[in-house]
């Protein structure tokens, strides 16, 4: 949960964003705003956190974040294709140079053979470069959501560290 200097990853991310004069936006589905909550619970976060969207439904993913209907139909909301579009949409909508997006199946229901409970897709937008990954987390609903939040913050921190 902690990185090199013993600081919480969220604090280290905010410091890194601040040093690089970057801002962050979030687009969250299964985590329901946990990344935004984690970041904004730290004093001084308002100088780098531009905002966040909880896009729990496909309608919000499409209408607000600009996820293409074809993406949702062909790949589903729990896909790297979707989270890539979510991250880009959040960055553009909220005027940020970086963004994190998450969509997944926190459980306890909703999983399938191809996408079991604990499957979480992540999208990252860093100064126009979009990347994505998928992880599988064990645990109950709250554990999956917490693990996904920590992973997302740590992953973006690694992506911007050497800018």
Q: Do 15 and 49 meet the contact criterion of CB atoms below 8 Å apart?
A: no
Q: CA 27 to CA 6: how far, in whole Å?
A: 27
CB 31 within 8 A of CB 145: yes
Q: How high is the pLDDT of residue 154? A: 98
Q: What is the pLDDT of residue 4?
A: 52
Q: Are 66 and 53 in contact (CB under 8 A)?
A: no
pLDDT in tens for each of the 163 residues of the chain?
344 557 899 999 999 999 999 999 999 999 999 999 999 999 999 999 999 999 999 999 999 999 999 999 999 999 999 999 999 999 999 999 999 999 999 999 999 999 999 999 999 999 999 999 999 999 999 999 999 999 999 999 999 988 8
**Across-strand partners of 129?**
126
Please tell me the predicted confidence (pLDDT) of residue 163: 87
Nearest C-alpha neighbor of 65 from the set 39, 45, 47, 83: 83
Query: How does 99-116 read in b/e, with b if 16+ C-beta sit within 10 Å?
Result: bbbbbbbbbeeeeeeebe
Are 76 and 82 in contact by the 8 Å Cβ rule? The answer is yes
User: Would you state the pLDDT for residue 17?
Assistant: 98
What's the pLDDT at 5? 58
Give the start-to-end residue ranges of the domains of the chain: 9-160
User: Which DSSP symbol is given to 126?
Assistant: E
CATH class, domain 9-160, is alpha beta
What's the pLDDT score for residue 6?
Answer: 73
Q: How many CA atoms lie within 13 A of 83 on its CB side?
A: 25
Residue 112 tokens read as: 């399938």
> Whole-model pTM?
0.95
């Amino acid at each position: 949960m902690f990185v090199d200097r013993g600081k919480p990853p969220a604090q280290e991310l905010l410091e890194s964003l601040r040093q690089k004069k970057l801002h962050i936006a979030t687009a969250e589905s299964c985590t329901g705003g946990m990344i935004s909550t984690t970041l904004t619970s730290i004093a001084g976060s308002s100088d780098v956190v531009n905002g966040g969207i909880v896009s729990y439904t496909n309608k919000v993913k499409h209408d607000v974040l600009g996820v293409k209907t074809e993406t949702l139909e062909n790949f589903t909301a729990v896909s790297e294709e979707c989270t890539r579009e979510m991250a880009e949409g959040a960055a553009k909508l909220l005027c940020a140079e970086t963004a994190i997006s998450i969509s997944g199946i926190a459980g306890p229901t909703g999983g399938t053979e191809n996408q079991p409970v604990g499957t979480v897709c992540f999208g990252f937008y860093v100064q126009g470069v979009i990347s994505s990954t998928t992880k599988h987390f064990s645990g109950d609903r709250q554990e999956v959501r917490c693990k996904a939040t920590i992973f997302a913050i740590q992953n973006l921190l690694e992506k911007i560290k050497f800018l």
